[in-house]
């Protein structure tokens, strides 16, 4: 039963519950008009304490396309946070007005801290460099459409694996399926945090390797998940500038990949995928952004318990 639940971490829902969300997303994709009134009278609180294009606008589009309405802010200085209001007080207040909340916050663990104060479903739209579970729903729905399965896939994650919350959530989620192997491609300074290696990969006996060069492994991948170097999480600009162009996917590199490999990227992209790759049928990242709206429609409907 998903009605009334929070979504803070990618493992909050069972695999069967995820399947329920994906099945509903399939139905919505098939016939979106059939769902355009199901949230009539419901209101989404959209609280974005950090910049966003896809997550905020896809949540807001999702609610509007379900017939609901939206209140919120995308600039925290326009709310009473600027006067020193605490996160629990902000959440308690918005829960008086809205039926469901999507929140992005720069501090790791903020949604976990806020959720006990929230009497309505609270959805983590990304917390600092920690987790981004609804991006993972987006990624999984895209993989399900493209590959027709989650098991026995070789998943390459490339770029900023230290600060990239979408990668942390994807590894958590994909490591729940049989026979998935990870190839983690990053500079030494941007490797995945130890808790991902120890508490997820090693604890579950998942096969993985860590390499620095994409060229060494691109021919082995079923999925290539590119990420940008997360400038906003660096302590100094010089390190960012040194590392920002570590990986640039271009046509030449794509020529060594499998014909049915798919390229995913949570976006925004900076320089890590050249625009010349966009026309390659294996480039799925803009389709992925669209699936993000459909899966959030399904998530909102399930958490509100409407049909
Ligand atoms: N993928 C993602 O989280 O994008 P935004 O930062 O634009 O929301």
Residue 200 exposed, middle or buried by CB count within 10 Å (0-12, 13-18, 19+): buried
Place of tokens 């916050």: 105
Q: Which whole number is the average pLDDT over 256-280?
A: 97
How far does the centroid of ligand 1 lie from the alpha carbon of residue 302, in Å?
22
Q: How far is the CA of 126 from the centre of ligand 1 (A)?
A: 8
Judged against a pLDDT cut of 80, whether residue 283 lies above it is answered with yes
Determine the Cα–Cα distance for residues 79 and 151; give it in Å rounded to an integer.
44
126 Cβ closer than 6 Å to some ligand 1 atom:
yes
- For residues 167 and 277, state if they share a domain: yes
Instruction: Sort 142 into a burial class: Cβ within 10 Å, 0-12 / 13-18 / 19+.
Output: buried
Q: What is the pTM for the complete model shown?
A: 0.95
Query: How far apart are the CA of 232 and the centre of ligand 1, in A?
Result: 13
Contacts of 172 (CB under 8 A, 6+ apart): 9, 10, 11, 131, 136, 196, 200
* 166 and 103 share one domain: no
Q: How confident is the model at residue 232 (pLDDT cuts 50, 70, 90)?
A: confident
Q: Are residues 72 and 148 in the same domain?
A: no
| Mean pLDDT, rounded, for 289-300 | 98
Residues 121 and 181 in one domain: no
pLDDT at 235 over 90: no
Give tens-digit pLDDT for 61-91. 999 999 999 999 999 888 898 899 999 999 9
Mutational pocket test of ligand 1: of 51, 54, 124, 130, the residue with most ligand atoms within 8 Å of the beta carbon: 54
CA distances (Å), origin 152, targets 117, 155, 179, 217, 261: 40, 9, 4, 17, 13
Number of domains in the chain: 2
Give the CATH number of the domain where residue 18 resides.
3.40.50.1370
Burial (CB < 10 A; 0-12, 13-18, 19+), residue 27, is middle
pLDDT band with cut points at 50, 70 and 90 for residue 299: very high
How much of the chain, in percent, has pLDDT values that exceed 90? 92
- Which residue's alpha carbon is nearest to atom 6 within ligand 1? 52
**Ligand 1 centre and the CA of 177: distance in Å?**
25
Residue 195 is predicted with a pLDDT of: 94
243 — pLDDT class (breaks 50, 70, 90): confident
Tens of pLDDT, residue by residue over 14-31, are 999 999 999 999 999 999
Task: Say whether both 240 and 266 belong to one domain.
Answer: yes
Is residue 247 one of the residues assigned to a domain?
yes
Identify whether 37 is part of a domain: yes
For residue range 194-230, list pLDDT tens digits in order. Answer: 999 999 999 999 999 999 999 999 999 999 999 998 7
Residues 111 and 42 in one domain: yes
> What average pLDDT does this structure show over 120-126?
98
In this structure, is residue 3 part of a structural domain?
no
Domain that includes residue 84, residue range:
10-132+291-304
**147 and 111 fall within a common domain:** no
């Amino acid at each position: 039963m998903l009605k009334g639940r929070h979504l803070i971490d990618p493992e909050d829902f069972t695999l069967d519950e995820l399947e329920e969300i994906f099945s509903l997303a399939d139905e919505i994709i098939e016939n979106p008009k059939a769902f355009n009134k199901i949230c009539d009278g419901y209101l989404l609180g959209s609280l974005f304490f950090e910049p966003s294009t896809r997550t905020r606008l896809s949540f807001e589009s999702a609610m509007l396309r379900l017939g609901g309405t939206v209140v919120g802010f995308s600039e925290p200085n326009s709310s009473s946070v600027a006067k020193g209001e605490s996160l629990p007080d902000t959440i308690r207040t918005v829960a008086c007005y809205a039926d469901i909340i999507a929140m992005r916050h720069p501090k790791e663990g903020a949604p976990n801290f806020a959720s006990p104060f929230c009497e309505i479903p609270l959805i983590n739209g990304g917390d600092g460099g920690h987790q981004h579970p609804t991006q993972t729903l987006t990624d999984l729905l895209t993989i399900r459409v493209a590959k027709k399965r989650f098991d026995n896939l070789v998943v390459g994650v490339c770029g900023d694996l230290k600060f990239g919350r979408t990668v942390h959530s994807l590894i958590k989620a994909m490591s729940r399926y049989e026979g998935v192997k990870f190839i983690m491609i990053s500079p030494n300074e941007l490797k995945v945090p130890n808790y991902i290696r120890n508490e997820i990969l090693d604890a579950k006996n998942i096969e993985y390797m860590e390499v620095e060069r994409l060229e060494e492994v691109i021919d082995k991948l079923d999925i290539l998940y590119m990420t940008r170097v997360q400038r906003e999480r660096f302590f100094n600009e010089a390190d960012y500038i040194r590392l920002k162009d570590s990986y640039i996917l271009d046509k030449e590199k794509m020529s060594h990949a499998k014909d049915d490999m798919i390229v995913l990227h949570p976006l925004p992209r900076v320089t890590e995928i050249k625009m010349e790759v966009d026309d390659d049928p294996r480039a799925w990242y803009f389709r992925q952004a669209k699936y993000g709206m459909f899966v959030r429609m399904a998530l909102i409907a399930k958490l509100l318990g409407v049909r």
